[in-house]
Structure 1
């Protein structure tokens, strides 16, 4: 209830809190603060209490700023120490500040931290067993944190001390590029720093900036033209449960972007990674072990040109809707008598009409690192990060759907209210310098209140229709993991990593309604009559439990790594369908069937001679599924030299055994026998990753690996459910086979300066038994899955990130980024020609579903050095891609469009910041086409937002 109260207060304040309130006279605040605090103690409304507290906030902020400005501050140095030869983090390296007693040793991640350093200029001595001692001079400490990342050279014979001048790296993006340079696989990254420069609110928004990635339906990730089912997802290294009923996918719109430390997209496999991805593995990494105490608060509000202050339709509200939970308003009554169910079910058939307010979001995060033991030894440390984020947005999308091949033309609007909030609680404990235990928790809740209202000319039935659909969908996902990292020096440097994780997801579609009124086209003056209308309740639960363990042992010329995974996934799905049928046999009156939606299904209108409430659910509308996976791997990491050239070979194999089981009852009786579908596979998946170090800044990478793509439980279940939004039945295929993929990658990458990169890649994938979606036009539209015999996907991509500092010192504040991906794919399929009575099957080819022929991202980042103003302009475009595979009708394609976003950020003092953003600056519409004719067009409008941030 406290969360509901806070959200309600902020939501109501959103329309009348203004920026000038932040700059009230300090003297008035000083004398008024005592009065405010006394008033807060008295009994008053929560809204008034919050407002009074808010008025004292500038006084508190300015006071903190004053003391921070004049207080004497010590500084700190932190960073990561890595091997120059392999790029791996080094454990147990000693860092000493010469002339002082201050120092530290690196931990399991190669990280170190030295605190409470008085202002001045120092020299650092870095030494480790087997590595040449390095001395870094001219390290300036001025009260602010210094990040100093260091590479060490292996001591193959006695070397003199290496003396260098300090090179400070203060950019998280630069650190991630350094991580990418030393990685063992082909990968791309996006940092929290880069996300901050964009208007991106969710992880799906942020990921579309990555080379070769596109986002479909604002939530599903396609990598290098490979659709989401061929890609993998992990959260902090743990597998996550699926969040969608109809496909194997993860909805990236459920993870708020400000809970992320970075996102890593791995594009080539190694044996220690899961074997079920081909396009890429998206690793979302949430906020981790902090280097210092941090508290940050963000508040933003936005305006959409289509939506804000305009009338929109939403479902009838429940008291917990504001936090994404139904309060029982939409709950199924659960009675055995159908008429009793109809009477007890709330009359929520008619949507409510509201004026859309401004969108709002806020977040609060806090973290700290606590040393346990002697100061600066940093052997025992406890760290925590907690965060809360919340977003409430509204959207009105005008739509036109010209389904000309079946003779239907629709026009109208889709309205949506989206709620998304997340909680993060990550705890870590480092001890003895070589051990780390972590407990990470992430919970996200989302809800979409969606209403569509279309007018329609159904020429096939010679009718004019009015469609109204009301859908409330709520999704919950929790991912928790307990993990450990340990190094045993007495066992020859053996390191062990283990992880146990639990991921649960729940999706509920309570009380989905579809209403149709119709009249004949040749009777335009007659009233509309209610058709047979639909109501349903659905729920899906999924739970994934996994256990991982990895052993790594250094040999004389290589590293040996081996380990395994045990994973179990459980899922169940149930949906109940009901039809509301006019009782024409009982003599229902015309006056009843033509009532407005607000009144037609009132309680008194059910019964004989009125409306009947009839369940149409089948036994096959429910299923239970299980998936058991066991895997083991062996991997060698071998650095070597050949003709004075340096190489690194990472190779090995992974074995995965999978058993998938789907059970569907044959009847509705409690003890009904089951129809069982079972799919068993054992796969050996070899991989090779070879890196040639042309110089200290340039890598040439080659990768070859095998991977698989298994059907999801939902795709194997013959259960069908009706998609109200697309007007089609979605059903599985128990005859699906797993797909097998062979992948080849080649990349040349160079890092000419800190924060800069140039990369060129080519890739090719051979897919056997590719799993595709198919749309079948019969008396009803049906979407299902099938295996294509073979498919090929290939292409190339280029990435550039370059500072313009070579043009002069001032231009060093301008950074250009860009990436371009060119993709070609071909999949074989059986094309059916002719009519339903006389068909001819031919083998043809087409692109992979969801594949774009090209993807473009570009951006310019500018930072004005004096006022610290930053301006960022971002551009995104994808090529024409196959959206739906047709059967007896033509395929449907999504047409390209240019998306331009812009952000302007202005810091005020050291702790306060304002950011202005514009999304979809060109106001481009989404267009689907069929045989070069517009099938559907959707307008989303521009969105303007302002965000205020305060941190200390």
Structure 2
């Protein structure tokens, strides 16, 4: 090999095709300067070359999921698919934590536009609402760049929907599923309505007319504001047996149906592309386990309540996506609409010892939750000046809704003969609604300035606007027995007790149990006006710098409403802040196929509406009661990243990085004991916290051409793995103060609620993923063994105050082992595809607990079961 030296201009010319192939392809190579003509050589060695990878092309530390990646793992939702990404974990099967930071520190976008949330406790949209068949890809960016919203602690998740195909297609897929803990077993349920299987209520859960009129009066329902006759009519108008009576029924198989199709058509002036996707799924899940609440007795941790519980849940989801695009060589306009409706019908019962009641008790629940999201976006991309000037714009409207009618709770105590009898003081019927509406718009302009034949600079600027409003209302009702109940009545079936015959002024009288002091209704609004400038410049050959700053002017308000006109005065919460959020990333392609990234930025995290609203809410997942804190403030973050990337083959890589974050005023959840064994979870700002860690990610393909065994030699084998270690620490000094709802805005010692050195809530030290698989082009088959491990994390601070605080609530997600097999084949002249999915083969259970020495309290523990699903796709 001969080595030569090149002048700077010669080096730039030699690296043109390596560093900027798109630029080289678009330009004619200039005539060579005679001064650069040194000698004829056999080989030229330079330090960098173009690496055709999305990871390489982006200027930031990021991860990408393609449609092929999602298909390989067989994940049905965006939430499940994202658990395969380095440093990402899933909480409650729908919220994504990035590098141990909760969902409040990340933002989710759909085609670059923000989304509202139908969740009472979160402003971030739950990602289980997005079926994987609507996704063309997902970008997870972990270092901040100013073109994204400033609410960026862990990262941003940008979901990209499918595009119109080059060739017309139409696919139909049907599937069935089995779960070892649910399918074919007798599980708890209740009748509900005849159309529950469709995801739409038949009207049985509509607010009845007399109750709707009573709600509209704006007065608390009770004898002080209503006549006995009115109260009787209201009570009798409530649906009885179909929504109150628990029963056992055999759970059927899970099943679903998906349809998708699209085409592109050349109109002569441009290309019209259309794609549509629709899906329906009906699934059942059952849980049997334990729920306990702890107390300290002589320094030992003991169970003050110990319940065995069982639940049966039916989830129905409908979704539809349509996208219409018109494009020419330099312009494209796209209109995308997405709709999803998810309903959950659940029956639950728990029974066990309760120290506060002094004996055995039972509680029965029936619930029905409707979550619905609709989003429409019009967007355009335009290229001018032979591609030097690019303009993009987008406008979006999205609305989400959550309706929870007839949440019922009925309590029972134990009689002397051991029978469970009605405890009329513990019945509750709730109606709640939440509407979240979001308008957004944005525009971006970028100009590419050539600096030489091989280098260029891209200057960008943009503006963005967001207006998010939320309305939430909850009404609680209960029946009282002014003259007590007879022995036969307390022993009667629940629908017999609450029959019309017993609802009268002498037996059962309805009253409103809504806590007027806890703001049963509130309005929230967040308005953000933003602008940014950014430059992405290859300052010298092989060294690229992306730097910019974003300005955000935001106002967030939460206004509690005196729904019952009691005269109570609520103080609205208003947070008005302006931020300059700088960010810079340096990328150095220091060796062949190798590059180093260094990044630094300032970002923010805003409290969510529900965290600011002093409205009480019981989470059906944990049976814990939540209430907001109107004294919360924004969290400010400083972020540092470094990552080395090696791209040794196309589609194959090895990366290793470190990260460090400083958080000022992070929001943490804490639990207070408001009565004996009655807990309430709320939120506060911790003074300071740090988070640091490292992550490794790799992917490679290989084969065994000399293996001698056709099964092994005929296949392309895959190994893909990642690991993230994260450590965090809350910093609390003796002089630090926190503002809580109970303290009414007066500073209290922070160490009453927080422990110096404790981990941040939701952060796991270890997160690992492994995929082992093969592809056989001849057999048209693919198989993947998938392992996911997440170590324990804090779900909430332990109840109590200061030195009397109980241990934190800990969840141990554990190890999940899945196997996915796919095969395409032809039958009767039709192209078909089959998929077999085996999930949770290790039988990992859900385990949330408190631990002190050898004492362990099962806060929430149940079996998840293993599952099997089979699907068949017909392609037309």
Separation (CA, whole Å) in 2 of partners of 1:248 and 1:900: 31
Paired position in structure 2 for 1:657: 553
SS in 2 for 1:898: strand
**2:710 matches 1:816:** no
Contiguous gaps of at least 5 residues in structure 1: 1-81, 91-125, 134-152, 160-174, 374-378
2:851 aligned residue (931, 934, 949): 931
- Once the two structures are overlaid, the 10-residue window that deviates more, 535-544 or 321-330, is 321-330
* Residues 172-224 of structure 1 deviation map (CA, whole Å, 9 limit, x = unaligned): xxx99822221111111111112112231111111111111110111110111
SS in 1 for 2:504: coil
Separation (CA, whole Å) in 2 of partners of 1:816 and 1:87: 30
SS in 2 for 1:338: helix
Separation (CA, whole Å) in 2 of partners of 1:458 and 1:525: 15
* Residues 740-774 of structure 1 deviation map (CA, whole Å, 9 limit, x = unaligned): 00000111111111221111011011000001111
Separation (CA, whole Å) in 1 of partners of 2:184 and 2:405: 28
1:218 aligned residue (88, 93, 107): 93
Whether the 8 Å contact between 1:86 and 1:639 is mirrored in structure 2 is no
Paired position in structure 1 for 2:797: 885
Higher RCO (Cα < 8 Å, 6 or more apart): 2
Change (3 A) 1:510 1:808: farther
Separation (CA, whole Å) in 1 of partners of 2:638 and 2:399: 31
Paired position in structure 1 for 2:220: none
Whether the 8 Å contact between 2:72 and 2:784 is mirrored in structure 1 is yes
**2:784 matches 1:872:** yes
Separation (CA, whole Å) in 2 of partners of 1:727 and 1:338: 30
**2:498 matches 1:601:** yes
Separation (CA, whole Å) in 1 of partners of 2:780 and 2:182: 33
Q: How does 1:799-878 map to 2 (within 5 A)?
A: 799-805=697-703, 810=713, 813-829=716-732, 841=752, 844-878=756-790
Paired position in structure 2 for 1:794: 692
Paired position in structure 1 for 2:444: 550
Change (3 A) 1:782 1:158: farther
Separation (CA, whole Å) in 2 of partners of 1:234 and 1:127: 33
1:362 aligned residue (236, 244, 257): 257
Normalising by structure 1, we get a TM-score of: 0.79
* Residues 694-716 of structure 1 deviation map (CA, whole Å, 9 limit, x = unaligned): 24522211111110001122221
Paired position in structure 1 for 2:138: 263
Whether the 8 Å contact between 1:854 and 1:878 is mirrored in structure 2 is yes
Q: How does 1:481-520 map to 2 (within 5 A)?
A: 481-489=377-385, 493-519=388-414
Change (3 A) 1:896 1:546: closer
Change (3 A) 1:452 1:87: farther
* Residues 260-306 of structure 1 deviation map (CA, whole Å, 9 limit, x = unaligned): 11111110111111110111111111101322212111111011111
Separation (CA, whole Å) in 1 of partners of 2:37 and 2:433: 68
Separation (CA, whole Å) in 2 of partners of 1:195 and 1:803: 17
1:949 aligned residue (857, 863, 873): 873
Whether the 8 Å contact between 1:518 and 1:531 is mirrored in structure 2 is no
- Once the two structures are overlaid, the 10-residue window that deviates more, 926-935 or 212-221, is 926-935
SS in 1 for 2:70: helix
Whether the 8 Å contact between 1:444 and 1:476 is mirrored in structure 2 is yes
Separation (CA, whole Å) in 1 of partners of 2:656 and 2:621: 41
Q: How far does residue 342 in structure 1 lie from its aligned partner after superposition?
A: 1.6
Paired position in structure 1 for 2:167: 292
Q: How far does residue 526 in structure 1 lie from its aligned partner after superposition?
A: 4.7
Whether the 8 Å contact between 1:199 and 1:918 is mirrored in structure 2 is no
Q: How far does residue 660 in structure 1 lie from its aligned partner after superposition?
A: 0.9
SS in 2 for 1:276: coil
- Once the two structures are overlaid, the 10-residue window that deviates more, 476-485 or 924-933, is 924-933
Paired position in structure 1 for 2:246: 351
Separation (CA, whole Å) in 1 of partners of 2:249 and 2:29: 68
Paired position in structure 1 for 2:233: 340
Whether the 8 Å contact between 2:665 and 2:686 is mirrored in structure 1 is yes
SS in 1 for 2:128: helix
Separation (CA, whole Å) in 1 of partners of 2:643 and 2:813: 27
**2:314 matches 1:420:** no
**2:309 matches 1:392:** no
Paired position in structure 2 for 1:713: 609
**2:630 matches 1:740:** no
Whether the 8 Å contact between 2:107 and 2:156 is mirrored in structure 1 is yes
SS in 1 for 2:648: coil
Paired position in structure 2 for 1:693: 589
Whether the 8 Å contact between 1:830 and 1:843 is mirrored in structure 2 is no
Normalising by structure 2, we get a TM-score of: 0.85
Coordinate RMSD, CA, aligned: 2.9
Q: How far does residue 890 in structure 1 lie from its aligned partner after superposition?
A: 1.9
Q: How does 1:213-292 map to 2 (within 5 A)?
A: 213-292=88-167
Paired position in structure 1 for 2:190: 315
Paired position in structure 1 for 2:12: none
Paired position in structure 2 for 1:184: 59
Change (3 A) 1:724 1:237: closer
Separation (CA, whole Å) in 2 of partners of 1:177 and 1:349: 60
Whether the 8 Å contact between 1:290 and 1:383 is mirrored in structure 2 is yes
Separation (CA, whole Å) in 2 of partners of 1:438 and 1:743: 35
Whether the 8 Å contact between 1:803 and 1:812 is mirrored in structure 2 is no
Separation (CA, whole Å) in 1 of partners of 2:172 and 2:17: 39
Separation (CA, whole Å) in 2 of partners of 1:197 and 1:789: 44
- Once the two structures are overlaid, the 10-residue window that deviates more, 786-795 or 690-699, is 690-699
* Residues 402-428 of structure 1 deviation map (CA, whole Å, 9 limit, x = unaligned): 223260001121211111121000111
Which runs of at least 4 in structure 1 moved beyond 4 Å after TM superposition? 82-90, 130-133, 156-159, 670-674, 806-809, 829-832
Paired position in structure 2 for 1:465: 361
Change (3 A) 1:861 1:287: same
Paired position in structure 2 for 1:409: 306
2:332 aligned residue (436, 450, 454): 436
Change (3 A) 1:597 1:925: same
* Residues 855-897 of structure 1 deviation map (CA, whole Å, 9 limit, x = unaligned): 0100111123432332211001101111121231321101242
SS in 1 for 2:205: coil
Separation (CA, whole Å) in 1 of partners of 2:51 and 2:849: 40
**2:568 matches 1:568:** no
- Once the two structures are overlaid, the 10-residue window that deviates more, 767-776 or 345-354, is 345-354
- Once the two structures are overlaid, the 10-residue window that deviates more, 916-925 or 319-328, is 319-328
Whether the 8 Å contact between 2:147 and 2:532 is mirrored in structure 1 is yes
Change (3 A) 1:132 1:399: farther
SS in 1 for 2:143: coil
Whether the 8 Å contact between 1:623 and 1:664 is mirrored in structure 2 is yes
- Once the two structures are overlaid, the 10-residue window that deviates more, 867-876 or 793-802, is 867-876
**2:509 matches 1:612:** yes
Separation (CA, whole Å) in 2 of partners of 1:157 and 1:480: 56
**2:554 matches 1:637:** no
Q: How far does residue 951 in structure 1 lie from its aligned partner after superposition?
A: 1.4
Paired position in structure 1 for 2:842: 922
Q: How does 1:81-230 map to 2 (within 5 A)?
A: 84=17, 127-129=25-27, 178-230=53-105
Contiguous gaps of at least 5 residues in structure 2: 1-14, 39-49, 215-229, 296-302, 452-456, 708-712, 743-747, 801-805
1:771 aligned residue (636, 655, 667): 667
Separation (CA, whole Å) in 2 of partners of 1:854 and 1:452: 33
Paired position in structure 1 for 2:45: none
Separation (CA, whole Å) in 2 of partners of 1:83 and 1:444: 47
* Residues 432-491 of structure 1 deviation map (CA, whole Å, 9 limit, x = unaligned): x1111010111111011111111121123212111111110010011111011112218x
